[in-house]
Amino acid sequence: MRLVLLGPPGVGKGTQGKRLSEANGWPLISTGEMLRESVSQGSSLGRVAQALMDQGLLVSDDVMIGLVEERTNEADAKNGFILDGFPRTVPQADALEGILRERGQVLNAVLSLSAPADEVVRRMLSRGRSDDLEATVRKRLKVYDEQTAPLIEYYRRLGRLFEVDGLGTMDEVHAGLCRALAGAASA
């Protein structure tokens, strides 16, 4: 299956995505992780990305679309993948539709994880990444509300949205995602 994990920063997409990936054998493609790798390699993309990430801003659609187009075309993603952190804007979502359509593929489901803003802020501040300072965290949530949250409606209209409660224990959230996946598989 080809899946997208959608939800605000700090909601648990990375943790849950890893578990779904291990349970099903589809690679987890995290654009945030890909960018952090470029940063640690000191590539030119890494330098640009770090400055934007540290301000809570998004890397350009063109760059992100190119990265995802390449990564989803690799051999391990042939039978499915889980995207975490992409798409984050409507142009990215449109591009993903186009990329898959060209390959004769579809996005099977968008699993939307939700949690209240004060909870995601608390989680981000407790994990302590370099872009997890309070001002940056607030900025990232604002960018999420403005640019990414509209994707919930976007995928609802396409009939591909499955909503899952991101509160609760890791096991409870995982179970919720598995139920949503079962629903998507039988849809």
4 near ligand ADP, judged by CB under 6 A: no
Q: Out of 31, 50, 72, 112, point to the residue binding ligand ADP (CB under 6 A).
A: 31
17 makes contact with ligand ADP (CB under 6 A) = no
What track of x and - describes contact with ligand ADP for positions 110 through 139 (by CB under 6 A)?
Answer: ------------------------------
For ligand ADP, the closer CB: 33 or 163: 33
Distance CA 120, CA 170 (A): 14
Whether the link from the prior residue into 87 is cis, omega within 30° of 0, is: yes
Is residue 162 a contact residue for ligand ADP (CB under 6 A)? no
Minimum distance of ligand ADP from residue 131's CB (angstroms): 6
DSSP lists the bridge partners of residue 81 as 2
Contact call for residues 5 and 82 (beta carbons, < 8 A): yes
Residue 88 or 183: the one with the smaller Cβ distance to ligand ADP is 88
Report the alpha-carbon angle 17-19-23, nearest 5.
115
* Site stretch for ligand ADP (CB under 6 A), options 39-47, 49-57, 107-115, 163-171: 49-57
Q: Is 88 in the site for ligand ADP (CB under 6 A)?
A: yes
3-state SS, one letter per residue, for 95-147: HHHHHHHHCCCCCCEEEEEECCHHHHHHHHHHHCCCCCCHHHHHHHHHHHHHH
Say how far apart CA 28 and CA 16 lie, in whole Å.
10
Q: Does 32 bind ligand ADP (CB under 6 A)?
A: yes
**Rounded Cα gap, residues 177 and 119, in angstroms:** 19
Residues making contact with ligand ADP (CB under 6 A): 9-10, 13, 31-32, 35, 52-53, 56-59, 64, 85-86, 88, 92, 140
